[in-house]
A and B are shown apart, each in its own frame.
Chain A
Amino acid sequence: MTTVAQETAKAIRPFRVDVPDEALAEMRRRIAATVWPERETVPDSSQGVPLATMQELARYWATDYDWRACEAKLNALPQFVTEIDGLDIHFIHVRSQHDNALPLVINHGWPGSVVEQLKIIDPLVNPTAHGASEGDAFHVVIPSMPGYGFSGKPTSTGWGPERMARAWAELMQRLGYPRYVAQGGDWGAFVVDQMGLQAPAGLLAVHTNMPATVPADVDRALLAGEPPPAGLSEEERLAYEQLVRTFQQVEYAKYMAARPQTLYGIADSPVGLAAWLLDHNDADGQPAAAVASALGRTTSTTGELTRDEILDNITLYWLTNTGVSASRLYWEYKGGFFNAKGVTIPVAVSVFPGEQYEAPRSWTERAYPQLIHYNRLDRGGHFAAWEQPHLFVDEIRAGFRSLRTLKIPEPRR
């Protein structure tokens, strides 16, 4: 590659979403032409996403749902694309007006996208408009993972969390941020754990809302389907039981880890895609109780998850045809799930009650020896930023606050 080409590749190009009308018409046509299976034979969701749920969602999706509103929301934010490690990476980059703002890279997960993070951007960037102080301001960078949303789709293997972690470090460096922090949940949590392990120059700390804290002996017992090891505290035993439940609800993950390419239906059928994306669990159900209840919520003045937001995310997958490419991330990753990974840089942890498990403080302190923040919330779940944006923003501010006091010189007296 010539120097010129390198420069071009490394260029940061502005990006706007502009889906052709025909793509939207075609999507609606397909939804309206759906061939439905018969109803499930159970009165609950134990066979999968219920037919009535899907039919109600499809009716709204094909008629009143407005993608252009989501597109406008995205385009109101500065978006860019830059090539990293051979792949175009799409990202939102919103700089705070406050010079001392802390640069923060936020990683979404599956079945998510940058759509999950839209409500937290302004409070993080512009805290004074949201009842917080200037000292809590962040410059926010939200990339789309490779194979997701408007990022490129990898054409060769290897794009697991380790490689993404390196790419995000390069992105922050390219944006001119010599010191920054990182945040993630779901796959984003895997990525920030990897960033923590790689400890690139400039990474001050990470915040995770799906911490990987399970001690090795507990993890072994879990995977072997054994009873919990002796000597667990009550809190730890509860976490063990929660993990047992979670591992009974991850067939979707096992499927994508084994056979992502076979999921032709999530490329060809909007309803097939929507059902697949909806069937992710949280502590209170599969599909996630927080998502299931949001399907009945048309508006929210308090930032709670709504039906439109859920369809924004699903529609983004549809329009970018990323169902299969996103699934391949599960195939790429061969490591453990909630086992402690050995991160030694400073880590902030928020424990939401609807998460896959509630990481006990004891395990968290062992997993992350430089624990700078640990808090248990009383609301919110697996999609914390999406479900409880106010709480989530408070957690990010509190999680990283100790880092700033060190950086910002005290005024002389």
Chain B
Amino acid sequence: MTAIAQDTGKAIRAFRADVPDGQLTDMRRRIDATRWPTRELVTDRSQGVQLATMQALCRYWTTEYDWRRCEAKLNALPQFVTEIDGVDIHFIHARSPHADALPLIMTHGWPGSVVELLETVGPLTDPTTNGGRAEDAFHLVLPSLPGYGFSGEPTELGWDVARVGQAWAELMRRLGYSRYVAQGGDVGAGVTDAMGRQAPEGLLGIHLNLLVTALGAQLPGDTEQERAALEAIATFRSSGFAYFLEQATRPQTIGYGLLDSPVALAAWMLDHDTDAYYKMSRAFVDGQPAGNLTRDHVLDNITLYWLTGTGASAARSYWESYGPDAPAAAAAAGQSPPPVSVPAAFTTFPGEIWRTPRSWAEQSYPTLAYFNEVDRGGHFAAWEEPEVFATEVQAAFRPLRAPQVPEPRR
């Protein structure tokens, strides 16, 4: 590659979402033409996403739902694309009006996107107009994972969460941030955990809202909280893990339906954990959203996957990070990753798949500097309870910035 090509690749290009009308018309046409299976034989979610939920969702999707509103919300934020490690990375870059703001890179998960994080942009970048303090401000970087949303789809192997973590460090360097922090839940927690272990220059600390180590390590079951968490993990492994296994092993096979059928995609994405499913289902069936998980917000995310055709590529990210056939699995065989060396912070949300006890967070992160359990929110914490979430992120990183902000002279 020539020097000029390298420069072009590393350029940070402005980006706007602009979906052609024809694509929206085709999407609605497909939803209207859905051929449905028969109703499930049970009265709960134990056979999967319920027919009544899907039919209510589709009714709203083709009649009242307006993608242009989501597009306008995205385009109201500064968005960019830059090529890192051969893949175009899309990101929102919302700088705080406060010059001393702490740079923060926040990573979404599956089945999520930057849409999950949009309502946190205000509270995090502009705390003073959201009832907070200027000292808690962040410059916010919200990238789309490779294969997700408006980011490019990797065409070569090896894009596990560790490689994404390296790309994020490069992104922050390229944006001129020499000191920053990182946050993530779900797959984003995997990326952020990996960054904590890689400890790239400038990374001051991490905050997580999912304990990814709990799915690999043997964690103790001595206290009541620990036993409850172990039980929740066992339930997840026995009845809630099927999407994970399918994506980790056969992403291409499931991808055909996800690309060809809006309803298939919507159902696949709705079928995450029990708590989030019922919250989203109620938003459509009973018109009773939980927090910010409204019909529009749920459909913004699903529609983004549809319009970008990323059902299969997002599923493939599980193959890359967790699949037995992926290069990452071979590389990691028999090796334990280095410990996280930067300060770690953790928040337990009560509706999460399992409620992480402080003891587990301490064992997983010897550098644990902040732990809190809040009273609202679930797996999609930032999405569902953006204010609670923003307050946690602010509190978690507050100790890290204290030395940076000079005390006023008296």
Residues of B within 8 A of A257 (CB): 242
Contact A47 B250 (CB under 8 A): yes
**B316 to A321, Cβ gap below 8 A?**
no
* Chain A positions within 8 Å of B255 at CB level: 37, 48
Residues of A within 8 A of B313 (CB): 37-38
Segment among A148-156, A169-177, A188-196 that sits at the interface with chain B: A148-156
- Inter-chain contact A156/B41, CB cutoff 8 Å: yes
Q: A337 in the interface, Cβ–Cβ < 8 Å?
A: no
A267-275, A352-360, A400-408 - the one binding chain B? A267-275
**Considering the chains assembled together, what is the distance between the CA atoms of A399 and B50 in angstroms?**
45
> Nearest Cβ in chain A — how far from B306, in angstroms?
9
* Consensus secondary structure, chain B interface: helix
- B residues less than 8 Å from A49 (CB atoms): 252-253, 256
Contact residue among B54, B154, B246, B267 (Cβ-Cβ distance under 8 Å from A41)? B154
Chain A residues whose CB sits within 8 angstroms of the CB of B325 once the complex forms: 42, 46-47
Residue in contact with B260 in the complex, picked from A38, A47, A271, A278, CB distance below 8 Å: A271
Say whether B333 faces chain A, with CB atoms less than 8 Å apart: no
Min CB distance A269 to B, Å, is 4
The answer to whether A38 touches B47, judged by C-beta atoms less than 8 angstroms apart, is: no
Distance (whole angstroms) from the CB of A51 to the closest CB of chain B: 7
Tell me the smallest distance from the CB of A313 to a CB of chain B, in Å: 17
Instruction: Write the nearest CB–CB distance from A190 to chain B, whole angstroms.
Output: 19
Q: Which residues of A contact B249 (CB under 8 A)?
A: 251
Is B37 in contact with A272, judged by CB distance below 8 angstroms?
A: no
Q: Which of A254-279 contact B (CB under 8 A)?
A: 254-255, 257-269, 271-276, 278-279
Q: Are A268 and B154 in contact (CB under 8 A)?
A: no
Task: Say whether B271 contacts A262, CB under 8 Å.
Answer: yes
Contact between B246 and A255 (Cβ–Cβ < 8 Å)? yes
Q: How far is the CA of A272 from the CA of B155 in the complex (A)?
A: 22
A50 to chain B: which residues have CB within 8 Å? 252
- Chain A residues 131-153 with CB under 8 Å of chain B are 153
Residue of B34, B41, B265 touching A328 (CB-CB under 8 A)? B41
Q: Which of B36, B40, B251, B324 contacts A267 (CB 8 A)?
A: B36
B257–A157 CB distance below 8 A: no
A157 near B41 (CB under 8 angstroms)?
Answer: yes
Q: How far is the CB of B380 from chain A (nearest CB, A)?
A: 18
A34 proximal to B (CB < 8 A): yes
A36: which B residues are within 8 A, CB to CB? Answer: 256, 259-260
| Complex interface residues of chain B between 14 and 50 (CB less than 8 A to chain A) | 34-42, 47-50
- Judge if B371 is at the interface, Cβ distance under 8 Å: no
Check: A324 CB closer than 8 A to any chain B CB.
yes
Whether A34 contacts B257 by the Cβ 8 Å rule is no
Q: A259-B242, A265-B265 are in contact. List 5 more A-B contacts (CB 8 A).
A: A252-B246, A259-B47, A263-B267, A264-B267, A265-B263
Residue of B nearest to A257 (CB): B242
Asked if B252 contacts A47 (CB within 8 A), the reply is yes
* Contact between B309 and A260, CB atoms less than 8 A apart: no
A258 to B244, CA, bound (A): 12
Of B36, B157, B252, B271, the residue contacting A48 (CB under 8 A) is B252
For the complex, is B62 an interface residue (Cβ under 8 Å from A)?
A: no
- Number of B interface residues in the complex (CB < 8 A): 56
Interface mask (B315-332 → A, CB under 8 Å = 1, otherwise 0) = 010010000110000000
User: In this complex, which of A251, A264, A274, A275 has the most chain B Cβ atoms within 10 angstroms of its Cβ?
Assistant: A264
| B153 at interface, CB cutoff 8 A | yes
Q: Bound complex: CA of A198 vs CA of B36, how far in Å?
A: 36
Q: Give the residue name and chain of the B residue nearest to A276 (CB).
A: B253
Residues of chain A within 8 A (CB-CB) of B256 are 34, 36-37, 49, 54, 265, 269, 271-272, 274-276
- B254 at the A interface (CB under 8 A): yes
Known: A259-B243, A324-B38. A265 touches B257 (CB 8 A): yes
Known: A48-B254, A49-B253. A262 touches B267 (CB 8 A): yes
Contact A258 B242, CB 8 Å, known A41-B156, A264-B49: yes
| Chain B hits for A262, CB < 8 A | 48-49, 243, 267-268, 271
Instruction: Name the distance in Å between B269's Cβ and chain A's nearest Cβ.
Output: 10
A265 and B260 contact, CB distance less than 8 A: yes
In the bound complex, residues from chain A placing their C-beta under 8 Å from that of B156 are 41
Q: Which A43-82 residues have a C-beta within 8 angstroms of B?
A: 46-51, 54
A322 CB, min distance to chain B CBs, angstroms = 9
A32 to chain B, nearest CB (A): 12
CB-defined contacts of A260 to chain B, threshold 8 Å: 40, 47-48
| Contact of B134 with A by CB under 8 A | no
Decide yes or no whether B342 CB sits under 8 A from chain A: no
Whether B311 sits at the interface, judged by CB under 8 Å, is yes
Determine the chain B residues whose CB is within 8 A of the CB of A155 once the complex forms: 38-39, 41
Once the chains bind, are B250 and A279 in contact (CB under 8 Å)? Answer: yes
A254 touches B252 (CB 8 A): no
A153 touching B258 in the complex, CB below 8 Å, given contacts A47-B316, A48-B251, A261-B47 = no
Q: Is A338 on the interface with B (CB-CB < 8 A)? A: no
**Chain B residues with Cβ under 8 A from A276's Cβ?**
253-254, 256-257
Chain A residues whose CB sits within 8 angstroms of the CB of B258 once the complex forms = 37, 265, 272
Task: Give Cα A262 to B261, complex, Å.
Answer: 13
Sampled A-B contacts (8; CB under 8 Å): A34-B260, A47-B253, A265-B258, A265-B265, A265-B268, A268-B260, A272-B258, A275-B257
Known: A37-B256, A259-B242. A264 touches B38 (CB 8 A): no
